[in-house]
Structures are given as C-alpha cells and as structure tokens.
Amino acid sequence: MIKLICPECRRENEPERIYCHDCGARLDRTALAKVAPKGEDAKETQRRLRTMLDPRRGKVRLLFFKVSKLILGAAAMAAVVQMLLSPEVPPRPKMGDSPPQIGFDLENAAMRHGGAPLQYTEAQVNAYLGSALRSKQAALSKLLQFERAIVNFDEGVCRVTVERSLFGFSFFIATSSKVSIQNGTLIAANNGGRIGRLPVHPLLMKYADPLFGDLWTALDLERRSVTKMDAIEFHPQAVVLTPKP
C-alpha cells in the first residue's frame, strides 16, 4: 500500500487522507496518480457487459427452466400413474372353496415335534388368508377399508400385498422381506416394496408400516404358530415349515 509522506513532519499517512494526521499540512497526492489502477480494462468490461445483457442467454435460460419444469412434472405424473395402477394379483378365491386348515396343521406340528415338513403353495396360503381374515374384520382398518391380503413366494423372499379401498377406489401396497425364525422369533428383513406398480426403496418402506399394522395384528395367532416351528423356507410359489425336532 502506498503511503503519503507529509512534506512538513514526514509522517506516513494513509492514501485516502488529504491532510496530515499529525500536523494538518496538505499532502501531496500526485504520487497516487502514477499508480496504475488494478482491475479489468475497458474492452474486458465491455465484453462482460455484452455477455450479461445478451438477450439470447436470457432466452436460453428461460427455455432451460421451462423444459426442466416440464420434465419434472412429467416424471411426477408418471410416478402417480404407476402408484394408481393395479399390479398383477391372483383373482379372489371363490367363496364355496374349502381353504386348507393351515393354522390347525401348525398347532399339531408344534405339539408332535419331529414330524414331516409342512409345504403349502401360494394359492393355498392365499385361500387360507381370505377365509381367516373374513372372521377378523373387527381388527382391520375401517378408515382405509381392508379388502384382502395376497402373498407371493420367491427364493428366500416373501411378498405381502394388501388391497385397500378409499371411496370405492382400490389401491395396492406391497412389502417384500427375507423372513426367518431365530430363537422362537420371526425376523423379517425388508428388501423393498411397491405402491401399485411403483417400486419403493427399503429405506422408505419403513414409513409404510402403519398401512400393514392392522393386518399383522389380525394375524397374530398365525404368527405365534409359525414361531413354534424350527425353520421357514421360501421357494418359488411355495413355503416350507419345518417342525422342531
């Protein structure tokens, strides 16, 4: 920083001063005029201003924001449509069909110990659920009217889909888990789910637990019967329960 030297007392003064800080004498400021100003030249300033005021840049920026909004809106609409679409689910079981007595089988197997493994298909389990839940309507939600529960089995994975209705419109939400029995406790590790046909990440599925709470409560007796088994295995379209030895 350039200092202004007072011609009277030789005191160094700041460059913004006109009179000496000590003696009040007028300072010689001609030295400051010889210092080249630091900053961009006139041509660079003109170029920068032309760039800032170029109407084409404004049009491109406006077009970018319009296209971005259109893409985001289309993505949101596509997600809503996927959520409202019904997934592929089996037809409702006929009322006249006699469902398998899975609950009775589980209780017998738990008492006998060492019996043969119990194996059921998806269709058999779904028929049992349809029959069992009809008698447990009091435990099921009335706000979001419970319609039915459907299970699907794959290798090591069980997916439960719940159909509910609101003002007569049905929507589906599914949770998929790897289920095992450990020390008499049923352990379920969630690996995702769906709302309609829209896949949902496992970290987000934990916020959907309230939509399944009434179903788990209604099936508490069946859950306790399963925990009396030694192991549970899921295979494509089948589940195998092994009694304790």
Tens digit of each residue's pLDDT (9 = 90 or more) over 194-226: 999 999 999 888 888 888 989 999 999 999 999
- 15 and 77 share a domain? no
Kindly state the tokens that stand for 146.
Answer: 């419970």
Distance between CA atoms of residues 194 and 182, nearest Å: 27
Could you tell me the pTM of the whole model? Answer: 0.70
| Last residue of one domain, picked from the residues 30, 58, 84 | 84
- 130 and 236 share a domain? yes
- 14 and 47 share a domain? no
Report the b/e string of 72-97 with b at 16+ CB within 10 A.
eeeeeeeeeeebeeebeeeeebeeee
Per-residue model confidence as pLDDT tens digits over 11-32: 888 888 888 888 888 888 887 7
- 117 and 172 share a domain? yes
Nearest to 175 by CA among 199, 154, 156, 155: 199
Whether residue 91 lies inside any domain: the answer is: no
- 58 and 120 share a domain? no
- 53 and 156 share a domain? no
Kindly state the tokens that stand for 89.
Answer: 């689910």
Nearest to 176 by CA among 234, 114, 240: 234
Helix runs in the chain, H state only: 30-33, 42-53, 55-84, 102-112, 122-134, 202-205, 213-218, 220-227
Whether residue 18 lies inside any domain: the answer is: yes
- 79 and 115 share a domain? no
> Which residues of the chain are modeled with pLDDT < 70?
1, 33-41, 48-54, 57-58, 93-97
| Enclosing domain of residue 12 | 1-38
Task: Identify the pLDDT of residue 30.
Answer: 82
Kindly state the tokens that stand for 165.
Answer: 């209705």
- 127 and 167 share a domain? yes
